[in-house]
Amino acid sequence: MPRDYFAGDPRTNRERMLAGEPYIADDPESERIARRALALLEEYRVAFTASRDEEARRLLAEVLGEVGEGVVVKPPLFVDYGENIRIGARTFVNYNLTALDVAPITIGEDCQFGPGVQLLTPTHPVEPEPRRDKLEAAKPITIGDNVWLGGGVVVCPGVTIGDNSVIGAGAVVTRDVPANVVAVGNPARVVREIGGEG
């Protein structure tokens, strides 16, 4: 029988999740929000495909926490909840973004995302017992302004990528990347600096 990891804590698992603390993903309110996001994003895919731009933008704004002016997100888009995602103005996201927003995901202005990017905030215990008991947590992801993530980039929990940086296709970003650099590989490492504003 699983341990009671939350003895004496009256909060729901959703409340623990939103506080950035360990939780178990069995909260009915979280499930409702996740299913709503899934349904709205299917409507978004259909509207976007049919060039019903105003409807598509409304649906995207209904799912996500914030969508800046001029944002383009090519469907399909996959999220956990959507409400914890903020995308800055004029950012372009190509097909198949997976943004698991158990913790906040903040994407800056003027970013470019290649196809198949994954932004993954959830974490799971390394120790086998709490992992078997379905304990999990999450750490926020922050992408600065004017960042380019190449196709297939994976950004891991808790990572911040600084303004103007470029992450090469297929890179797995396991730790923070400073502003104004190019990083590539698995795990991603900085290979050179680039100019700042310009």
Q: Do β-strands 189-193 and 181-184 pair in parallel, antiparallel, or remain unpaired? A: antiparallel
* Cα–Cα distance measured from residue 116 to residue 119, given in angstroms and rounded to the nearest whole number: 10
* Cα–Cα distance measured from residue 106 to residue 102, given in angstroms and rounded to the nearest whole number: 12
Determine which one of 124, 134, 139, 189 is catalytic.
124
Does the annotation count 124 as an active-site position?
yes
What is the DSSP track for 67-100? E-TT-EEPSPEEESSSTTEEE-TT-EE-S-EEEE
CB 82 within 8 A of CB 121: no
The residues carrying an active-site annotation are 124
